[in-house]
Structure 1
């Protein structure tokens, strides 16, 4: 009731006539006045609960950059809503573009399946909010789940305030769909299987490549990730959250371990989604999708008693201090949707030049509906000097349950763990990695017409640009023939590269490249592809040819607010909008 009153007070107090394209802003809150947006600067006052700094450089670097910070002096629910509001408001133009490109019209031709998915999501949300209300005051897990939904509610309100002026409205519930896009693909399969509905799906479609690499002599540890997605999704934002959340709703002494997160993401999405996240608790967290091809397992997916993947990942990122803790937290309330192989690297366990790699440096978790397997895989990393991930389960029991053996029997080695093209390419090329440059080269690698490991004897022509570390399916001939859809011509491929090292990780920094790989290949250009008119790409540059960048976060790493020395001065600065304070 109290929280609902805060939101109502905020909506009633929003200022009018806000500039069309803001970049900096703060939210202030007082018990009497509620929330108020202070646009155009980072106000440092006793009643400032959150700050945001956003720059859209998609036409310069392929990325937008968003930083949001909150003050731990305020109630966590107030912080979460304020953080979400600032993000929703300042990135609203890109949220609208991303919605047009990826969600608008999503249900065309599959309305019956979407109705089932909507019913599931509504029922699941009701169950979760009931649990939050009952347990968040004393239970750290449910408190963090609650903060996810509080922050999301702020995003929606922030966006809607912007949309009221611009008339660029998004239908109710669609921003939530953007936050559960990975789960949606599996939920579609659940209800298509359960109710014998028709669902068109690209067989074998890949989603991401990842590599963890130990250099000789343990001189460095690289962690890298390539997102594979539709090219329509390439409205991207690098984000840094610095939140003053606490472990429970009532104990404001203990702050969460993962108070600061940096990650690659999408407009309106309040976690990575790729996933690639660095946490202030010392963890680098990433995954590639392994999917599920065993229809019998969909029976484990229920609307109650389960929490969707992005929420569980966010809670684990905020609460865990090591890889084992992360896997235990993530395992709770397994939804069986967006089934991935997760890798958690604990950089606290690594020191350049260390004589021996310590246990618990790398934990790996694989999820299927009703089943999760996790283990410390540091010994494998140390023995091989690398850990690759490419959409195929490593653990034999997960592999066998996933339905992959039947796919191997039907289509051959492409669906195996150790003989699929990316497994063989990683096994061959990881030895060439000596530094950041060579690591990036491996992660952007695609020489599909000349590399024998990219050959596809059943294809005509006998190769596929899917068979590479960073796919370029737009280059596969449209009139070619392929044994299954993933190998063919479509708007899909590697859409970025992110890479961190032990040195960069200290400041939660990483290298990144946005857009499809152009290593040994022509750059991707919308005006040159035959699917341009069929694939909306509002807000994207025509030509995708960007250099690697290492973004330096501009806001200080600690909270901005300084204690007030006199309440009159705070009132003065609030009235005149001064962002500087001299004592």
Structure 2
């Protein structure tokens, strides 16, 4: 049964004598395992012979981020590692999980269930049953799927543990509307439409992320950057590092044993998505959605694996962009439909114009995938932009792109949309990390002619690289919902580079090789005032428990530890 999250949060915070979102010192916890009884024990601090240990620090009020590092020990079976890792994370981040639930999930499909919620629960349960039935199939793919599901079960067990002590082993049973629901939030947005929800929450044209992969002049360096676009109530964030040395069936450690990524409390993947992986890959995406209702019939609970699970399996097992795509494409759920970019830093040769296998693109819609190596294109034009519109013509046309252009104009076209034109105009201004960050935080919509629209007033905060829809007048008129006033915009910025640059006071080693990235939390404030809840006209009807009032934070360098490093401008 779903836990009473509000009461639990107040109980925890009251017992610890802290306020919501308060900065605290680092917390650590570890988990041991008794093989004979299959019982796990949760310990405060780090003890000997642990299976998993974690360190956590909440600095949301000072930096806009909390920080989590979870690692496991390879001598234990993969599923034991996964369950213990989930316990540690659930326990250490339980307060923020509660706040996130209150802000983003509470009130969605609560009992008594209406028809849509009954259908959704049945769909998710049938899908989990089908996935669990594959657990005995040979191969590393299903082993990683099983490890993920067990980690979710551990997360729930750790979350419910208010103090150190004994925890039962994994049972193989998950409530679709429990912690598992946080893992499929992106899928659920599409399932609303696939299952015929009458008041589906997707806003027509609503963007969900900007991304830019940029070669510097002379190909001397390669930057990979991503802005999350989301509702402002989602801005309780965690920067995470996982070190899970899972073993492959035929021996050896999985290629993606370690990754750093931006994420959310209770979510065991990025969700943004943005990953730096020990295999030498960076995987990231922007959402492309689906505007063709006829395709939803391809969305079924069997023979499919939810998108986030396929993402993590691909991150764990892929050695290059080709194998990442080969792992991701089977069992297409048709939900959380994205354009994925996979950069292989192992293939980047500074100064070379003859690189191969550097960039792979994968696009998903219900019933269809498209993938290709786009190294030649990025070498030709020096950049790859991504802005929620499919690149591949077959995906664009099949998902209703042409129909959107016919109805609403070039705003929906791949080359004519505002962000496409801004990236084309401004990518040449990127000469160093500072200018890359400026472009990814750019929004001057009241002055930039490329941000104009057939609106009153004649521009929109949606029409830039990092959206600020809160700045659109509430009494404005707009041809479709994405351009209007709402609690939505760019909620962060992340960027990594092959080399650490003098702007960052790190070491002489390569930034990516150290799995480090620069991150800024909150909506952009480069051209406008920072977002502030207390002055917002939607503060009373938009849950934001635990949030700072004002989101004006400096960039930090995340290196996988809980000791953040300021970015030196």
In structure 1, what is the equivalent of residue 139 of structure 2?
139
Q: Aligned partners of 1:424, 1:315: CA distance in 2, in Å?
A: 34
In structure 2, what is the equivalent of residue 261 of structure 1?
259
Query: Does 2:413 align with 1:416?
Result: yes
Q: Structure 1 residue 172: deviation in Å?
A: 7.2
In structure 1, what is the equivalent of residue 33 of structure 2?
29
In structure 1, what is the equivalent of residue 168 of structure 2?
none
Please give the per-residue CA displacement for 1:396-455, whole angstroms capped at 9, x wherever unaligned.
111000101111101001000000000000000000000000000000000000000000
2:444 aligned counterpart, secondary structure: coil
In structure 2, what is the equivalent of residue 244 of structure 1?
245
Q: Structure 1 residue 69: deviation in Å?
A: 0.3
Query: Does 2:373 align with 1:376?
Result: yes
Q: Aligned partners of 1:87, 1:555: CA distance in 2, in Å?
A: 14
Q: Aligned partners of 2:323, 2:561: CA distance in 1, in Å?
A: 31
2:206 aligned counterpart, secondary structure: coil
Q: Does the CA-based 8 Å contact 2:389-2:396 persist in structure 1?
A: yes
Q: Aligned partners of 1:77, 1:409: CA distance in 2, in Å?
A: 51
Q: Structure 1 residue 29: deviation in Å?
A: 1.8
Q: Aligned partners of 2:482, 2:65: CA distance in 1, in Å?
A: 27
1:505 aligned counterpart, secondary structure: coil
Q: Normalising by structure 2, what TM-score?
A: 0.89
1:314 aligned counterpart, secondary structure: helix
Q: Aligned partners of 2:480, 2:34: CA distance in 1, in Å?
A: 59
Query: Relative to structure 1, is the Cα distance of residues 465 and 156 closer, same or farther in structure 2, using a 3 angstrom cutoff?
Result: same
Query: Relative to structure 1, is the Cα distance of residues 269 and 532 closer, same or farther in structure 2, using a 3 angstrom cutoff?
Result: same
Match of 1:313 among 291, 311, 314: 311
Q: Structure 1 residue 175: deviation in Å?
A: 1.9
Equivalences for residues 109-508 of structure 1 within 5 A: 111-132=114-135, 134-135=136-137, 138-162=138-162, 173-192=177-196, 197-248=198-249, 253-353=251-351, 355-456=352-453, 458-503=454-499, 504-508=511-515
Q: Structure 1 residue 62: deviation in Å?
A: 0.4
Query: Relative to structure 1, is the Cα distance of residues 90 and 360 closer, same or farther in structure 2, using a 3 angstrom cutoff?
Result: same
Q: Does the CA-based 8 Å contact 2:260-2:560 persist in structure 1?
A: no
Per mean C-alpha deviation after superposition, the further-off stretch among 272-281 and 156-165 is 156-165
Q: Normalising by structure 1, what TM-score?
A: 0.87
Query: Relative to structure 1, is the Cα distance of residues 118 and 171 closer, same or farther in structure 2, using a 3 angstrom cutoff?
Result: closer
Please give the per-residue CA displacement for 1:124-164, whole angstroms capped at 9, x wherever unaligned.
000100111x21xx311100100000111000000011399
Q: Which runs of 5+ in 1 are unaligned?
A: 1-17, 557-583
Q: Does the CA-based 8 Å contact 1:350-1:357 persist in structure 2?
A: no
Q: Structure 1 residue 490: deviation in Å?
A: 0.3
Please give the per-residue CA displacement for 1:191-227, whole angstroms capped at 9, x wherever unaligned.
117xxx4535411111000000000111100000000
Equivalences for residues 33-44 of structure 1 within 5 A: 34-39=39-44, 41-43=45-47
Q: Does the CA-based 8 Å contact 2:70-2:85 persist in structure 1?
A: yes
Q: Structure 1 residue 555: deviation in Å?
A: 8.1
Q: Does the CA-based 8 Å contact 1:110-1:199 persist in structure 2?
A: no
Q: Does the CA-based 8 Å contact 2:88-2:158 persist in structure 1?
A: yes
1:414 aligned counterpart, secondary structure: helix
Q: Aligned partners of 1:171, 1:63: CA distance in 2, in Å?
A: 29
Q: Does the CA-based 8 Å contact 1:103-1:174 persist in structure 2?
A: no
1:122 aligned counterpart, secondary structure: helix
Q: Structure 1 residue 28: deviation in Å?
A: 1.6
Aligned length: 521
In structure 2, what is the equivalent of residue 541 of structure 1?
548
Query: Does 2:521 align with 1:520?
Result: no
Please give the per-residue CA displacement for 1:97-128, whole angstroms capped at 9, x wherever unaligned.
00000000124799332221111000000010
In structure 2, what is the equivalent of residue 59 of structure 1?
61
Q: Aligned partners of 2:265, 2:202: CA distance in 1, in Å?
A: 25
Q: Aligned partners of 1:534, 1:477: CA distance in 2, in Å?
A: 17
Q: Aligned partners of 2:546, 2:476: CA distance in 1, in Å?
A: 31
2:270 aligned counterpart, secondary structure: coil
Q: Which runs of 5+ in 2 are unaligned?
A: 1-14, 18-23, 166-173, 500-510, 564-569
Query: Does 2:539 align with 1:532?
Result: yes
In structure 1, what is the equivalent of residue 567 of structure 2?
none
Q: Aligned partners of 1:162, 1:270: CA distance in 2, in Å?
A: 20
2:385 aligned counterpart, secondary structure: strand
Please give the per-residue CA displacement for 1:474-530, whole angstroms capped at 9, x wherever unaligned.
000000000000000000000000000012111111000000000111100000100
Moved over 6 A (4+): 18-22
Please give the per-residue CA displacement for 1:40-90, whole angstroms capped at 9, x wherever unaligned.
x233x3x21111000001001000100000000011111000000000000
Q: Structure 1 residue 176: deviation in Å?
A: 1.4
Q: Aligned partners of 1:163, 1:324: CA distance in 2, in Å?
A: 45
Q: Aligned partners of 1:328, 1:508: CA distance in 2, in Å?
A: 24
Q: Aligned partners of 1:332, 1:100: CA distance in 2, in Å?
A: 34
Q: Aligned partners of 2:176, 2:342: CA distance in 1, in Å?
A: 35
